[in-house]
Structure 1
């Protein structure tokens, strides 16, 4: 079976999720290719999508418009990628699997493909395809109707969510949406775009041969962390992204220090890009920055005793699953896809959104009564193996091809 995955990049959270599934497809014998707008890996099966003649970089990529009243990113549904090239990809493939492709594939290309007989599957990384362009609605439910009025865009914005959503409602037809989380799957089913569509849930998987436990004390020393203290990891692709909840950390640290009498008794390890104000954290903090090498990232996870994810809104973040694979339990707010995978008392704990006191209490529970890293790893082997996820997709493709 010839499978064409189409995304924005081969790196970043969504890009790496797409790349690892593509690699697993190849390992399991599928004729799989991954087409991207931005290519960085040296792999023949990952192919850069050319621009239209006479254009260079895509002018319609993610933008935070001047009149947007929040920092919610938007995409327009337009693209400068060559439509003839994309059409040749469609013709050569048995199944097209769209990933985070808001820049690589325009709404009009999606329209053309969704009105043909060949299966079109869209694995969602966020809400962008089912809204008027916002990647996360931040509690707004207007995507269930017509995205009007939009609370995130000012009246003078060049971006009109109503126009984007209305265009998609008129043009798009047969699409099978796949959500990594039940949370996002439910949002798709309630949206005006996805209400009459086939919606499936297939969780993201992890390469268990890459993300695996390393000796915790050895890794702590490598990152100059005190091996006698518990290490709390906070990580994200961009740690100062408002959705990642860094704003809750200063209060949480103060609760640990003052209420639980833990001052100078733990360390915090911050992994990811961005530049949050770490001076707000009254504790021992080590910052790695962005770690590109995935084996090194697994070692950084292994230097930690607990991963703390006070995320505000998210699908099923890689940092959560990768922590599990390295045997590290996760403490998080019960939002998005977290309840799908965090099993209290087994691989972590959940706190009510956005109760920082409860989050601190659950964190203290895991410090005082550490969950077994061996058990967390065993849970991962049974529940989040990328090989199992690839099989689920293969079964879906076969079902759709002969439907």
Structure 2
């Protein structure tokens, strides 16, 4: 697409509609600026390079950072005991504001919960649900749901990541996947759709599971994988290593410092 116009989000068929006006204004402004774009994922960088507004601008990829001194592996046995989880409980963690936000994928989790059953291995499935206004439908699936409310305390969030056997992230659109990085830093794998930049935060079959975007069966396969691997110390250690290698504040600082030096030398 060379420029905006006839915007479907505006219900418009006019090629010179408001979206086109905004596009032309931005293009006029961007032409005058010496812009260097920084993206958090290679997926996002490719989108920028394909953009009619920014496609000719230089692009670098520098991922987000995770505070590794807050999100780190803790003594899971004690945490799970404090939360009244039995040793054999299989605990899934999910954050949802509303099932009405289709692109966040909560509807897939709800469908999955209806199809998940406690296995012959004696593992009982439980869900740690975070969010400001959880949909009541989550409490009618037959699965034990523990509602933790809306959290602003990152340290408490880290406790829940540690207590969980898997973090579920069924977003259909995502530029990076900050929560998957936080979960990994705590040693917890993520089952997610391979949407947007999410695949750059998960090593499939190693630190998590990437299901085809929008595939309920793929999501269920990932949950089964996580259940089989629940508590595996090698897997949890690899999750932590991944976070340290990719999202440490030191690495991000180093990358930005290098970029700033490069740009300064050009001036």
How many residue pairs are counted as aligned between the two chains?
256
* Residue equivalent to 2:21: 163
> 1: distance between equivalents of 2:260 and 2:247?
20
Deviation at 1:239, TM superposition (A): 5.1
Q: 2:148 aligns with which of 265, 288, 300?
A: 288
Q: Normalising by the residue count of structure 1, what TM-score does the alignment of the two structures yield?
A: 0.59
Listed as ranges, the matches of 1:131-142 within 5 Å are: none
SS of equivalent to 2:210:
strand
> 2: distance between equivalents of 1:346 and 1:330?
10
Q: 2:189 aligns with which of 320, 329, 347?
A: 329
* Residue equivalent to 2:9: 152
Q: In the superposition, relative to structure 1, how do residues 263 and 337 fare at CA in structure 2: closer, same or farther (>3 Å)?
A: farther
Runs of 4+ in 1 over 6 A off after TM superposition: 260-264
* Residue equivalent to 1:357: 217
Deviation at 1:280, TM superposition (A): 5.0
Tell me if structure 2 keeps the 8 A contact 1:256–1:263.
no
Q: Greater share of helix residues, 1 or 2?
A: 2
CA RMSD of aligned residues (A): 2.3
> 2: distance between equivalents of 1:348 and 1:304?
13
* Residue equivalent to 1:242: 102
> 2: distance between equivalents of 1:160 and 1:281?
45
* Residue equivalent to 1:272: 131
* Residue equivalent to 1:315: 175
* Residue equivalent to 1:221: 81
> 2: distance between equivalents of 1:202 and 1:373?
25
Stretches of structure 1 lacking an aligned partner (at least 5 in a row): 1-143
Q: In the superposition, relative to structure 1, how do residues 262 and 190 fare at CA in structure 2: closer, same or farther (>3 Å)?
A: farther
Q: 2:254 aligns with which of 391, 395, 399?
A: 391
Query: Looking at both structures, which has the greater relative contact order when contacts are Cα pairs under 8 Å and sequence separation is at least 6?
Result: 2
